[in-house]
Structure 1
Amino acid sequence: MTRARHNRPVRPTIRYARHVAGALRTETVGGVVMLAATVIALIWANTPWSSAYKSLQTHELNWLGLHHMDVAHWASGGLLAVFFFIAGLELREELTHGELRDPRAAALPVIAAAAGVVVPALIFLAVTAGTGDGMRGWAVPTATDIAFALAVLAVTFSDCPGPLRAFLLTLAVVDDLIAITIIALFYGSDFVPGALLLAVACVAVYGVLQARGVRTPWVYVPLALLAWYFTQRSGIHATVAGVALGMLTSGKETPDERPTNAERADHVLRPISAGLCVPLFAFLSAGVALSGDALNGVFHDRVAIGVMLGLVVGKFVGVLGGAWTAVRLGLARLGGGLHWRELAGVAVLAGVGFTVSLLIGGLAYPDPAQFERVTTAVLIASVTASAVASAIFRHRVRQRARSVEVT
């Protein structure tokens, strides 16, 4: 009976669902889905029915005693917690098996990522100096959206060297870690110590059970939800809980070679993050007016200008300059398969800031009008960075093709 049931053909709907889930586990497809959600939001927000879009964004859902949280806030605080859980898993993987395991190999992307955060922040502060609360958004242009960046890289430089892709991945993971630290330290609301202690207790229990090899999700799911809830109540952004839980999820191999807890969590949650959580966040955040007056307001707003210059210029100067300085000072080495022209393309591509940039923008600027200008600035900068990086990579592809023909 068991064998017959095991050999039963899989229904087409199940096969299709598995195929879709498998596709969503690739960063490229996730970036395309997020782009589609962004385009739909922009179209809706620029139609006669834009008021319905705004009503959806601002509709309050007072669940679980969390008052004054509208749909957009639930997307940024709730859905993005799953995205940052995946980021935590990736960071743990990099620390245990990836580039970050070897300090010498990790030095190049880590220093480049750090410089790629500092330089855009300095540019933003210089542009917005004297604007008062406008300077609260200094962290908006510091983040790189890995899904969009990898999608652009895959389309324009499909045969890119493995080390170059690894450099971009490590750069983005470190970038995410710095971003979530910034959010925790600078963009919290009213602090509630008791709630934070309860959140820390839930995270600690989760970590202990992971270390002891407990595998059942029926224990971890309630603990994760409680950790998220108490973090949200504490005044610290709930995405911090997602990163902490992801980093504590065990990647320890089992004697029977079953998938590790980290692998199981990644397998289940990555399609949900890429296919639902991040696209919904993008859809609820990216709908801004693109009329002539609205765009004119963006290019006359110092905060928006600071965001655009920080992402397009600051990221390029910071990432490439940080990498060059690290190699020049002997702090890191340019490994085999990496070339400065290709690193220049990645440095430009790092200016594609979307998910985390919009998250920080919403935290820094609760005023809807200012947040809309910041959102438009992030979109303009991301499109510009993508276009310039694409041109660099396509030129590099032609160069490589000519060198192959010559040899």
Structure 2
Amino acid sequence: MSNRSWGLRIPPELLLEISKYTDDQTLARMAQTCTELRNEFQPELKKRVMDYALPQMTPQWLTTGFVDAVLRHLNIPEHDRDEITAMFTENFRQAAQALSLDLSDLERYLPPQPFRTAIRTDQRKVVEALLRVGGAELANARDHRGEPMLHQAVNCGHPGVVQLLLQHGADVNLEGGDAGRRPLDLRPPLSVRPHIYQILLDAGGMPTSVDFFGLWVHGLPNGAHLLLHAIRNAAAAGEHCEPMWWPIFVVVVSFGHAKFMECIFDQRPDLLNLTRLRETDEEVTLFDVALSFGRYEIAALLVRKGVPLRQAPEDSCFSDMGVEVFVPYVEVWRTVCCRVPEELLSALFERPELEDYAFKDLVLRRAQSMREILPAK
């Protein structure tokens, strides 16, 4: 009896034709046994996996309930049935968009998609088994709504599934949905958001807008590192990468996220020089923003990091027991005129520019008086 694999005793052309009509289990065994023909079996295996994992809307599905449901749901006359059927047959997603149809209302009339379900319910073993055969084509597939599988995993907050999809060729910057959003434009559950964002960034992910991304991540534990990573990825891809830092910092200051600002300034000390002009042509710095929100710990951080000190006008002075005290810098003068903690003044007086300032004690005493007079914010 021949020692050759049983599959090779049959002409390859006949064997491949037979494979089209075998059940899934037999086909899988044939692919394992007939090692020399394994690659030839892959297209048929892949087709079956795709048909099982993400069945699409077929004419049979359209005519067995879906079109009826659409007509009822949208109050469309019966005589328009053929036109509606033709629209969905030609391009299902475009037809749904043209009719402003929310497919979630008609979920039970759509073909079930086991791969989508496995992703949304974090069934990693099922997802991995299907991806081993379906590969990048399955990893980048979309559901009936046009939403990519990676978007599903991100939205549902399943980092393990996100990694599996990326490992099998999912496009980390694939745009999906009506708004054309990328995975990093989505907001997964807060508990896993930093982890998922880091996975996407490590894979080369980029948000559509680094401005909005900065506004989303500033409250996360590693938000500054995530934003800087996104900027690097965008720069490497040749996309616009420098965000509008001023509005980001204003929001960050208002929330009091000092750690975020500290991490940013450690990497980008040039941003300490950011300014804006008011309608009166008065220059506003991040120090001024911090004082306006009563975020004195951030103001002190800015001073210690080296925010530029501005020369004060000549009339920036006060009298203390007959002594005329001139205040040389705007930042110090502003602390004299409002109720600020001693920590902020201490940070200012640690600056080299004020090392030899003769009136430190008088300014500190004045600040103490203001704290006693003015109400706390």
**Alignment TM-score, normalising by the size of structure 1:** 0.18
Q: Give the structure, 1 or 2, with the largest relative contact order (CA under 8 Å, sep 6 or more).
A: 1
Which structure has greater helix proportion? 1
**Alignment TM-score, normalising by the size of structure 2:** 0.19
